[in-house]
Amino acid sequence: MKKLLALTFMILLAFVFVGCSDAPATTTEGVFTGEKTLPPDVEQDTIVIWVGEEVQEFYQGKANEYIEQYDADPTNQYLFPHEIEIRAADTGTAAGVFLDDPSAGPDVLTVAHDNLGRLTGGTSPAIYPIISPDLIAQIEEQNPESFLDVIKADFEGDTYTFGVPYEAQALILYYNKAYLTEEDVQTWEGIWSVASENEVRATTVTGTDGFNNSFLVLASYADTGEMPVEIYRGGELSNTEFVNDGAISVMKWGQRFFSDPYGVDQGSDSGWEVDLDNEQTLSVIGGAWHFNAAQAALGDDLGVAVLPTFTITEDDAYGSVDAGTVMQSGTFADTKMFVINKRSEHLIYLEDILLFLTHKDVQEESFLENGTLPAYKNALSEFDGMDGDDIKTQLAIAQIAMFEHGIPQPFGIDARFNFYYYQKQGPELLYEMLTEAEEFNTDALIIERMQRIENIWTNTTTE
């Protein structure tokens, strides 16, 4: 009896020992539990990712979360071997800085999508295409059509996806609530008349580049939502048209708006925020990055709205366009996306990291915490906090609404298309035509200038 008891006890003890041991062995195929180590033969390094300044801290937190998740995931045999460092780099100039010396660049950088052409140009693109099927699936699922068109580029006949969008921005209207009501700001004429009464400027653009004149260039018919202008539709050089009746009418209206001292103009050389502050202008066409300054200028009087509509009058109408046609101001809608540095040494890990960082849940968190506009196509309906009253939410909602009336800049699809923006100064030529009404006082002259710009768009190398 004692022997039996001792034997049972021994067997039980053996079971306990076996059961409690910390064996890192695979219990089932592909599942690793227990203590993990760093992978062998991998030198510890830092993965560097550039993001905009305002979200740097947030994404650093997310990156650390990713590493924790990775380490805890039973399907990963080893611990994540590297550190991830999120650095702040101005997204407007990041592409240029990166291209100056790609081998000194980060592993991943954030750029506005219109830089794609520069980054993929030449015989050997500076960035890598996305090849992970999971990531591609998530990109296709989460982003609106318009973005999907501009994050892809061609290389030697094949189309590849290069960018992973996660943020977006569009132009909206900042206005002074002390002078303008919500009804006033629905039409440019409304703002214009209040401005004329007070002998101040109706609105201000913050620069002369294409982003700023897009409210005219990309204007669409308010009833149908169609744009008279075509710029590289579908990524095709030949699908471009600027000189047509609709666009000419819009440009003529624009010229009128620019020539009127109470219409639109550049800010004074004190700066648009000083103009707003001194009530020299009643509104500003701007983006999210102008928010702090606009708020510092107007305080609680700051209002945010979708860009207004305007009506083509008899003076402006040209050709088949009727007087009285209502146009909706347009905008270029930018998306900020991650791109991968071709010379990164940590390719294997990057796509998975991006899968995590650009997931719609993370975008939602970023919106709630930082007020950044998500690229996710259903953000307006699905995200929390989209029905808030505070100004930052209104800013997001207005931008999302503007997406309906705009297109992402198509100039980054192909490096050649950049000529309009970066090299042949098309926007400055357009701006000259809009502001020098005495010089461009006949339809023929206006059309000539528009044709010259269309030529820059289609020829990309000559005028």
Partner 1 sequence: MQENNQDMNQSFLSKLIEGFLSFFKGIYLFFRSVPKKLVRFGHFLKDKCKGFLERWKDSNLGTKLSHFIMGSGNIYHKQYIKGLLFLAIQVGFLVVFFTNPVVGRSVTNHPVLGPIVVDPGTPIGYKSLGNLITLGTNEGSLFTSADNSMLMLLFGVLMVVMIILFIATWLANIKSSYKAQVDMAKGKKPTTIKEDIKALFDSKFHVLLLTPTIIGVSLFTIIPTIFMILIAFTDYGKGVVAGSDLFNWVGFDNFAAVFESDSEIGQRFLPVLGWTLTWAFFATFSNYIAGILLALLINKYEIRLKKMWRTIFVLTIALPQFITLLAVRSLISELGPFNQMLLNLGILEQPMAFLGQADSATTARISVLVINLWIGIPYTMLMTSGILMNVPKDTYEAAQIDGATKFQAFRHITVPYIVFVTTPYLITSFIGNITSFNIIYLLTAGDPGVPGNYAGKTDLLVTWLFELTIEQGDYNVGSVIAIFTFIITATATLLTYRHSKAYKEEDTFQ
Partner 2 sequence: MIEKDMNQVKADPKAHKGMENKKPLMRPNAAKKKAKKTAGTIIAYLALIILAVIWLYPIVWIILHSFREEYIDGFYRGIIVSNYFPNHYGLETYRRLFTEYQAGTYTFLFFDVQVGIFVKWFYNTLIVAIASFFISTVLQLSVAYVMSKIKFEKRKLFLNLAIILGLFPGFMSMIAVYFVLKALGLTQTLFALVLVYSAGAGLGFYIAKGFFDIIPNSLVEAAKIDGATNAQIFGKIILPISKPIIIYTALMTFIGPWMDFIFARVILGADKREIHTVAIGLFDMIYGEHADINNFTIFAAGSVMVAIPIVALFLSLQKYYVEGVTSGSVKG
**For binding to partner 2 (CB under 8 A), which residues are involved?**
50, 52-53, 87-93, 97, 100-101, 104, 106, 270-271, 273-274, 277-278, 289, 292-293, 295-301
Which of 185-193, 273-281, 325-333, 398-406 is the region at the interface with partner 1 (rule: CB under 8 A)? 273-281
> CB under 5 to 8 A by kind: which of partner 2, partner 1, none does 292 bind?
partner 2
Q: What residues are paired with 331 via a beta bridge?
A: 406
The least distance separating partner 1 from the CB of residue 22, rounded to whole angstroms, comes to: 31
What H or E segment, with its residue span, contains residue 354? Answer: helix 347-357
> CB under 5 to 8 A by kind: which of partner 1, partner 2, none does 337 bind?
none
Q: Are 125 and 155 in contact (CB under 8 A)?
A: yes
Which of residues 74 and 102 has its CB atom nearest to partner 2 in the complex? 102
Degrees, nearest 5: CA angle 367-371-375: 50
Which of residues 36 and 177 has its CB atom nearest to partner 2 in the complex? 177
SS3 32: coil
Q: Are 339 and 163 in contact (CB under 8 A)?
A: yes
Which of residues 230 and 334 has its CB atom nearest to partner 2 in the complex? 334
Which of residues 209 and 365 has its CB atom nearest to partner 1 in the complex? 209
* Dihedral (Cα; 142, 147, 151, 153), 10-degree rounding: 130
Q: Are 201 and 270 in contact (CB under 8 A)?
A: no
> CB under 5 to 8 A by kind: which of partner 1, partner 2, none does 132 bind?
partner 1
Which of residues 87 and 256 has its CB atom nearest to partner 2 in the complex? 87
Task: Name, in order, each residue with C-beta under 8 angstroms of 130's C-beta and a sequence gap of 6 or more.
Answer: 136, 139, 160, 161, 162, 163, 164, 340, 351
**Separation CA 263–CA 15 (nearest Å):** 87
**Is residue 132 part of the contact set for partner 1 (CB under 8 A)?**
yes
Q: For residue 398, which of 333, 310, 337 has the smallest C-alpha distance?
A: 333
Q: Using the 8-state DSSP alphabet, how is residue 19 labeled?
A: H
Instruction: Please provide residue 76's backbone torsions phi and psi, each rounded to the nearest 5 degrees.
Output: -100, 125
Which of residues 79 and 391 has its CB atom nearest to partner 1 in the complex? 79
From 45, 83, 134, 428, residue interacting with partner 1 (rule: CB under 8 A): 428
Structure tokens belonging to residue 296:
């510092």
> CB under 5 to 8 A by kind: which of partner 2, partner 1, none does 122 bind?
partner 1
Which of residues 249 and 460 has its CB atom nearest to partner 1 in the complex? 460
Q: Which of residues 159-178 bind partner 1 (CB under 8 A)?
A: 160
From 56, 60, 186, 266, residue interacting with partner 1 (rule: CB under 8 A): 266
The least distance separating partner 2 from the CB of residue 450, rounded to whole angstroms, comes to: 28
The CA-atom distances, in angstroms, between 147 and each of 92, 122, 335, 408, 413 are 18, 23, 7, 7, 11
Which of residues 128 and 253 has its CB atom nearest to partner 1 in the complex? 128
The CA-atom distances, in angstroms, between 308 and each of 183, 191, 228 are 10, 9, 17
The least distance separating partner 1 from the CB of residue 8, rounded to whole angstroms, comes to: 53
Which of residues 45 and 245 has its CB atom nearest to partner 1 in the complex? 45
Which of residues 352 and 404 has its CB atom nearest to partner 1 in the complex? 352
Degrees, nearest 5: CA angle 227-331-229: 25
From 237, 244, 271, 455, residue interacting with partner 1 (rule: CB under 8 A): 271
Q: Which of residues 339-358 bind partner 1 (CB under 8 A)?
A: 342-348, 351
**Separation CA 388–CA 281 (nearest Å):** 28
Q: For residue 432, which of 270, 259, 263 has the smallest C-alpha distance?
A: 259
The least distance separating partner 2 from the CB of residue 240, rounded to whole angstroms, comes to: 27
**Separation CA 308–CA 78 (nearest Å):** 56
The least distance separating partner 2 from the CB of residue 347, rounded to whole angstroms, comes to: 20
Q: Are 362 and 258 in contact (CB under 8 A)?
A: no
Q: Which of residues 133-162 bind partner 1 (CB under 8 A)?
A: 155-156, 160
From 212, 240, 358, 418, residue interacting with partner 1 (rule: CB under 8 A): 418
Q: How many chain residues touch partner 1 (CB under 8 A)?
A: 46
> CB under 5 to 8 A by kind: which of partner 2, partner 1, none does 354 bind?
none
Which of residues 12 and 42 has its CB atom nearest to partner 1 in the complex? 42
Q: How deeply is 302 buried, as exposed, middle or buried, from its count of CB atoms within 10 A (0-12, 13-18, 19+)?
A: buried
The site for partner 1 (CB under 8 A) is made up of 96, 99, 102-103, 118, 121-126, 128-129, 131-132, 155-156, 160, 266, 268-271, 274-275, 278, 280, 342-348, 351, 415, 418, 422-425, 428-429, 431-432, 463
